[in-house]
Structure 1
């Protein structure tokens, strides 16, 4: 008889193959589910978080106003204005009491930061909790490392004098880049 375990809305059969493996039950399930359901689950989580924080939030709709308000918010948090995708925005929300921000886009997009040669993918829903020089519990953002898309969960500027911005994953891996690589492309072209 096979038991079914539901995690991330996917049925996984529990049979002798899993019981004999040399890894813990939970890490085995996480390993098996990597990539298959993460996007779907994160989208559900981000949508439900948006509903929770929407009540007392400042909400803007329409591409032009969303673009303007996103830049203002990034500037207020002392983060580079070119950090988030601003094309195709449908809605931007910010709950000042909780620090929760969300961006809703028409479609998933990819952007290449030319100065550092990195491709970044932005989902239709990007959410985070923001504070001075930091975005934490970030969802909807992935960076391409070699051949693998890695979810970014934290972005912060530890020491503004260093001129570095650090991107971290939920597993604790991180990489730092110059803040200047994430300045707004429109501003640079206007100079």
Structure 2
């Protein structure tokens, strides 16, 4: 009898140790990234249509996976890497990795995206050197993101564009 109890205990422990960590790590209740953004008070157009999948962990870490790196335009050009990571809370994406915006011929990483007051109609982008307030209307629909041809624009360095000759 004790032998059966020991075996059942081992089986139960094994099942709990393999199933529970998965359920505690991943918390995906929305059908699309755009539905998730909307439920968290953010505009649906922050991520492009080309999102293949995403994972939201119980820590708040959001990982978004695209088909590949791509460019789109909001007020300026925006570059998405293949994987974008951020901490998701209601009204904000903080500690963003994998998203850059072009500002005056420079590509600057987007660090935070915050909607403080949806009634204001504004969204705040922290790009390190500055905070940009943009109209929420720019993000009403998920944008198309181009992966071919335009990526060369992002990869070109300042030197290749002739800036070193001016120094």
Q: In angstroms, what is the RMSD of aligned CA positions?
A: 2.4
* Shift, 1:54, TM fit: 9.3
Larger gyration radius, structure 1 or structure 2 = 2
4+ residue runs over 4 A deviation: none
* Shift, 1:106, TM fit: 2.1
For 1:133 and 1:168, locate their aligned partners in 2 and report how far apart those are by CA, in whole Å: 14
Structure 2 partner of 1:140: 98
* Shift, 1:128, TM fit: 0.5
* Shift, 1:58, TM fit: 3.7
Higher relative contact order (CA 8 A, sep 6+): 2
Within the candidate set 26, 34, 39, 1:71 is matched to: 34
**Residues 47 and 142 in structure 2, CA contact (< 8 A), matched pair in contact too:** no
For 1:164 and 1:100, locate their aligned partners in 2 and report how far apart those are by CA, in whole Å: 24
- In the alignment of these two chains, the number of paired residues is 122
Structure 1 unaligned spans of 5+:
1-52, 61-65, 187-191
* Shift, 1:85, TM fit: 1.9
**Residues 41 and 90 in structure 2, CA contact (< 8 A), matched pair in contact too:** yes
* Shift, 1:175, TM fit: 0.5
Structure 2 partner of 1:100: 61
Taking structure 1 as the reference length, the TM-score comes to: 0.58
For 1:85 and 1:185, locate their aligned partners in 2 and report how far apart those are by CA, in whole Å: 5
* Shift, 1:91, TM fit: 2.6
Instruction: From the superposition, tell whether residues 165 and 77 of structure 1 become closer, same or farther in structure 2 (CA, over 3 Å).
Output: same
Taking structure 2 as the reference length, the TM-score comes to: 0.66
**Residues 59 and 91 in structure 1, CA contact (< 8 A), matched pair in contact too:** no
* Shift, 1:172, TM fit: 5.2
Structure with greater strand share of residues: 1
